Amino acid sequence: MTLVSDTHGAHGAVYRDRGGRRVVDHYRKPERVGKAVRNVVGAIEMGYGVLAITGEDRVEFIDNAVSNRIPEADGQGVYALLLDPQGGIETDMYVYNADERLLVFLPPERTEAVAEDWASKVFIQDVTIDDISDELGVFGVHGPKSTEKVASVLGGPGAPEKPLSFVRGSMVDAGVTVIASDAPLGEEGYEVVCAAEDAEEVLDTLLNRGLNAAPFGYRTWDALSLEAGTPLFEYELEGTVPNVLGLRNALDFEKGCYVGQEVVSRVENQGRPSRRLIGLDLDGLADATADIDGDADPEGYDEILPSPGAAVFDGDEAVGEVTRAAVGPAAGDPIALAFARFDADLVDPTVRVDGEEVAATRSDLPFPSVDGSAQSARLPTYPSDE
């Protein structure tokens, strides 16, 4: 459930469910807002689940469970994965060392299951796991002017610089923690964390005090992250071996054993996975999407763009499937992410939409139309590309 429904309602919010949590889908002008985020700055209420891990053994316990090394110093964070025995991603997460506790931000639909799984594995260790999702508000601030935005309203220290590091300060009368993001939208960005009772005031500060920010929802988030080449849990990550996604920033190949590590290491040693994540310009749909006013009817694109799972062909051969598609805010053209066979040439690819083959062109990631202020840390990187 959103913590700031009055503020969202004042901006004309349309809602959707995200993993059992009510979040803003859009504010009726997602195309215009997407351009505002690309050019200036925007703010979004994030739909995370949050776990607090306490006890003397907290760092060692979580480090043994996930794919990346947990920082031991206060004020530092890391992006990590929880894998199954076959190497498939059960969830992704951000883990922050917040002095006497670790804070784990993860998709809301995975929060309860992860908390129960970890609690069942605590034996003699001094570890306690609590779901504190309802106690915190989390807001994203993204765009080339996001540093200026945060500086204009943050009391205390300056904005953090190192990705996934954080500082503590205040906004008006509310205590906040400001985290430097790893640029999932291909722009500079931050996440602002506050107590739930301060959420309304903090969002009002982010939108209206200092440098104004445009409110945006998850429809815009999905499109901007697609342009940036950032895979997301609900579309690309769940059940996928991380090598297929090129998520090298989430993997520490030198740390001790964790579930799924043998599969990840074996695929890594092969030099490349069987599939990879690619970008596609949906040239054959450009005229159809151009006829739709995405601000007046954002759902109109849903009837034209390929759905997740739509087949990708290389000539007459099926070589992959679309994970998601959108009209990119930067250029206003239809684009998609897809899994494709690693060795597919994709010289003249097509995508099947409503039983017809639609012309496409393979694109680099991030999409060339994006001239962002930062590069996503999740941008797919494969050993053979280095």
Structure tokens at 322: 């679309």
Question: What is residue 385's predicted lDDT score, i.e. its pLDDT?
Answer: 62
- Return the higher-pLDDT residue of 20 and 241: 241
Grouping H, G, I as helix, E, B as strand and the rest as coil, residue 220 is helix
Confidence band for 1, pLDDT divided at 50, 70 and 90 = low
Question: What is residue 55's predicted lDDT score, i.e. its pLDDT?
Answer: 98
Question: What is residue 24's predicted lDDT score, i.e. its pLDDT?
Answer: 86
How does pLDDT run across 316-374, given as a tens digit for each residue? 999 999 999 999 999 999 999 999 999 999 999 999 999 999 999 999 999 999 999 99
Residue type, position 260, single letter? G
Rounded CA separation 194/62 (Å): 24
Residues of the binding site: 191
| Domains along the sequence of the chain with CATH | 5-48+134-223 (3.30.1360.120), 50-131 (3.30.70.1400), 274-367 (2.40.30.110)
Confidence band for 29, pLDDT divided at 50, 70 and 90 = confident
Q: How far is CA 163 from CA 120, 181, 267, in A?
A: 32, 5, 28
Peptide bond connecting 366 to the previous residue in cis, omega within 30 degrees of 0: yes
Handedness of CA 48, 149, 226, 70 (dihedral sign): negative
Helix/strand/coil (H/E/C) assignment for every residue in 182-219 = CCCCCCCEEEEEEEHHHHHHHHHHHHHCCCCCEECCHH
How does pLDDT run across 263-275, given as a tens digit for each residue? 999 999 988 899 9
Question: What is residue 10's predicted lDDT score, i.e. its pLDDT?
Answer: 78
| Burial of residue 36 (number of CB atoms within 10 Å: 0-12, 13-18, 19+) | buried
Rounded CA separation 42/215 (Å): 6
Handedness of CA 28, 30, 31, 33 (dihedral sign): positive
Question: What is residue 30's predicted lDDT score, i.e. its pLDDT?
Answer: 84
Grouping H, G, I as helix, E, B as strand and the rest as coil, residue 63 is helix
How does pLDDT run across 177-212, given as a tens digit for each residue? 999 999 999 999 999 999 999 999 999 999 999 999
Confidence band for 296, pLDDT divided at 50, 70 and 90 = confident
Residues of the binding site for substrate: 191
Q: Are strands 214-215 and 42-45 parallel, antiparallel or unpaired?
A: parallel
